[in-house]
Structure 1
Amino acid sequence: MRIGSNPTKANKQLVTSFYHRVIVPVYIPNTEEDYFKEAFPILKYCLQSLLKTVHQKTRVSIINNGCCDDVTTYLKELKTSNVIIDQLLDSDINLGKINAVYSAVKSNVEPLITVTDADVLFLNNWQEAVEKVFIDFPKAGMVAPVPAPVAYKSSFVNSTFYYGFVNRLFKFDTVVNPDALQQFQESIGTQLFKGIHFKKYLILQKREKKAAMGCGHFVVTMRSQVFEKAPPRPSQFKIGGESLKKYIDGPNDAAGYLRLATMDCYARHLGNKEEPWMKPMFDSIVSSDSFGNEQDIDFKVQGISKFSQILGKVGYKLIIRNDFLRRIYFRSKGMNHPEF
């Protein structure tokens, strides 16, 4: 039996007073095994630095991706004490990073969505710096708060290459924070960069506006439209595999959006081991009182056309993938080094 009329029928439209959502999948199944032994304090650095640095027009979704009891209890207490966290989604099993992220993406309406691993230290002004790239380069669809000097080699920068090449925006500039890049490389345990990459990176420059070419995705902010280009079915991989390419990198390029990063490093990758530098850096973070850049960001920008994407793909393969032509082109932009 139903009595009366459902009051929600009078106001069917789903609206929000926020425009930026941060999604954090968390998988810490135990705190005893070597790999996860220090993951819990790392998680605390991540979430507490995030809560201190986001502006007032932000809400956070945390996905408990099959965590142990101690971590689950902490996440529940954190949500109860922080209004910024308006979603805590619990799964008894590890859904994998992509499926966990999409469980939140598909149920929210904010036009900007930051996807972050649970081992990121957010520094002051990261959000404002990222959003400024969206303002300065309206066709940006994917922006990271950490530049990656080798990201121009990615297979999913065709739209970015076309836009930068045709508009003559490419140039090489001095790396703003080489120490942070060195720290990032050490944190992932892989020699990702070579000597020249700590000195110069490929950027897009439009008068005084600058953004680094390409980006990684351990923390990245995306337009919500990008996710509409992703496969309709869940990923079969928990981590790695083709999931990041199919559900993050590829959709941004297919939507015709640019893949960029801030010039400076506004976040740190922590890894799974606590180090002496982490607490002093965390302690230096101050709480944000910003209300963001909502009035300055265009949330309805279209990406470049399909035809331009095809031209970008052809041009990228012809110039960037060809060692001889790449060196000629880079030399014209001021870079004459064999490691580029």
Structure 2
Amino acid sequence: MRVGVSAAKQDSKLELNTYHRVIIPVYIPNLKEEYFEDGLEILKFCIDSLLKTIHSKTRVTIINNGCCDIVVAYLYDKYQKEDTIDQLFHSDINLGKVNAIYGALKSNLEPLITITDADVMFLPQWQNAVEHIFEQFPKAGMVSPVPSSIAFENEMGSSTIGYAILKGALSIEKTINRKGLERFQESIGRTLYEEPHLEEIPVLRMGEKAAAIGCGHFVVTMKRSSFDNAPVRPSAHKIVGGSERRYIDKPNNDGGFLRLATLDNYAYHLGNKVEEWMVAEKPKSKQTIKTRPLEKLHFEEKGLSKRFRIFGLIVLKLFKKNPSLKMWYFKKKGLTYDKY
């Protein structure tokens, strides 16, 4: 038997008073194996630095993606104590990064979604710097607080490359934060960058508006509409097998959205071992960050024409086939080195 009318039916419209959500999938199955033994401490760096560097219009979703009991207890304690963490999802098994993210993504309405690995340290003003790029470039769909000078080569940024070249807006400029690039390659345990990549970076510049071209996806803020072209079915792979490419990179590029990064470095990828510098650089106190009025946020839902993506793909293929052509063009745009 049912008596009366549900209050939810009388007030059915969802009211949104936030505009930025951060989603963190966490997979730390144990603290005994060498790979995971510092996992909890690294996770604490991540969550504590995030909470100190986000503004009041932000909410956080954490996904326990098959973690051990000690890590689950820590996550539950943070959820209980921190109002900003308004969602804690649990799965006894590892669903894979993409499936965990999409489970949270589909149930939230914020127009900006930051996806981050659980081994990222956020630095002061990262959120303001990222949101500023979305304001400067309304066609941006994917913006990272960590620039990468070799991201230009990724064909999943072909819409951005085509746009930058056809608009005459590509520039090779001095790297602002060499240390950030060096720290990233140290964190993954292999060499990514040669000397020219550490010193100069491809930039999309339109007057005073500027952003690094391309980015990785270990931490990235995305416009909700950039997911519209994503596959409908769940990913069959946990991490490997191209899941992030198909579910994150490709939908953004196919939709004609720009793939960019901040010029300065606003986050560190930590890897799986605690180091002394992490303690020194961890944000010490809660930051005061300016928020954008919700009514003034106008994120363009429609991306660039596919001609930019096709032209970008042609350019990348030509540059790969003929490196001297790439060098000629980069030199014309400001490169000072003889290789890149």
TM-score greater than 0.5 by the shorter chain: yes
Contact in 1 for aligned 2:173/2:335 (Cα 8 Å): no
Deviation at 1:149, TM superposition (A): 0.3
Q: Is the 8 A contact 1:53 1:122 kept in 2?
A: yes
After superposition, the C-alpha distances for 1:84-105 in whole angstroms (9 at most, x for unaligned) are 0010000000001000100100
Q: String of CA shifts for 1:4-30, please: whole Å, max 9, x gaps.
A: 112211222223100000000000111
Worse overlay, 287-296 or 213-222: 287-296
Cα offsets for 1:65-97 (capped at 9, x unmatched): 011111101101101100100100000000010
User: Cα distance, 1:213 vs. partner?
Assistant: 0.7
Aligned equivalents of 2:15, 2:224: Cα separation in 1: 15
Segments of structure 1 that go 5 or more residues without pairing to the other structure are none
User: Which residue matches 1:288?
Assistant: 287
Give the SS at the match of 2:235: coil
Contact preservation (8 Å) 1:24, 1:62: yes
Number of the residue aligned with 1:117? 117
> How far did 1:33 drift?
0.9
Partner Cα distance (1:224, 1:240) in 2: 24
Which digits, 9 at most, give the CA deviation of each residue in 1:185-226, with x for residues without a partner?
A: 111101111111111000011112210010001100000111
2:49 aligns to what? Answer: 49
Would you say how many aligned residue pairs link Structure 1 and Structure 2? 339
Structure 2: any 5+ residue segments left out of the alignment?
none
Tell me the CA shift for residue 128 of structure 1.
0.2
Who is 2:71 aligned against? 71
| Residues 12/61 of structure 1: CA separation in 2 closer, same or farther (3 Å cut) | same
Matched, 1:302 2:297: no
Identity of matched residues, %: 48
Q: Does the residue aligned with 2:148 lie in a helix, a strand or coil? A: coil
The yes-or-no answer on 1:162 pairing with 2:162 is yes
Aligned twin of 1:322:
322
Between the aligned partners of 2:94 and 2:184, the Cα distance in structure 1 is: 26
5 Å-filtered alignment, 1:1-340, equals 1-282=1-282, 284-294=283-293, 297-319=297-319, 322-335=322-335, 337-340=337-340
Which whole-Å CA distance do the structure 1 matches of 2:300 and 2:179 have between them?
37
Q: Distance in 2 between matches of 1:277 and 1:221?
A: 26
* Aligned partners of 1:50 and 1:122 also within 8 Å: yes
- Cα RMSD over matched residues? 1.4
CA–CA distance in structure 2, aligned partners of residues 321 and 133 of structure 1: 32
Distance in 1 (CA, whole Å) between partners of 2:126 and 2:320 is 30
How far is 1:228 from its partner?
1.5
8 A Cα contact 2:225 2:301, kept in partner: no
**Which one-letter code corresponds to 2:89 in the other structure?**
L
- Indicate conservation of the 8 Å contact 1:123/1:285, yes or no: no
State the 1:313 CA deviation.
2.6
Q: How far 1:321 sits from its partner (Å)?
A: 5.4
AA at the equivalent of 1:262:
T
Shift of 1:339: 3.4
Question: Taking structure 1 as reference, are residues 5 and 314 closer, same or farther at Cα in structure 2, changes over 3 Å only?
Answer: same
Tell me, in whole angstroms, the C-alpha distance in 1 between the residues paired with 2:119 and 2:310: 36
d(CA) in 1 for partners of 2:23 and 2:307?
Answer: 33
- More displaced, 41-50 or 292-301? 292-301
Instruction: Supply the AA of the counterpart residue of 2:287.
Output: S
CA distance in structure 2 between the partners assigned to 1:322 and 1:223 by the alignment: 35
Q: Is the 8 A contact 2:139 2:300 kept in 1?
A: no
Residues in 2 aligned to 1:63 and 1:255: alpha-carbon distance in whole angstroms? 27
Please report how far the alpha carbon of residue 316 of structure 1 lies from its aligned counterpart in structure 2 after TM superposition: 3.4
The letter of the residue matching 1:207 is G
Distance 1:245 1:269 in 2: 19
Q: Name the CA distance, whole Å, in 2 between partners of 1:195 and 1:87.
A: 43
Kept in 2: contact 1:226–1:251 (CA 8 A): yes
Hey, what's the Cα distance between the residues in 2 that align with 1:163 and 1:286?
A: 40
Give the match's secondary structure for 2:241. Answer: coil
Is 292-301 or 159-168 further displaced after alignment? Answer: 292-301
Q: Secondary structure at the match of 1:274?
A: coil
Equivalent residues of 2:145, 2:220 under 8 A apart: yes
What letter corresponds to residue 3 of structure 1 in structure 2? V
SS of residue in 1 equivalent to 2:155: coil
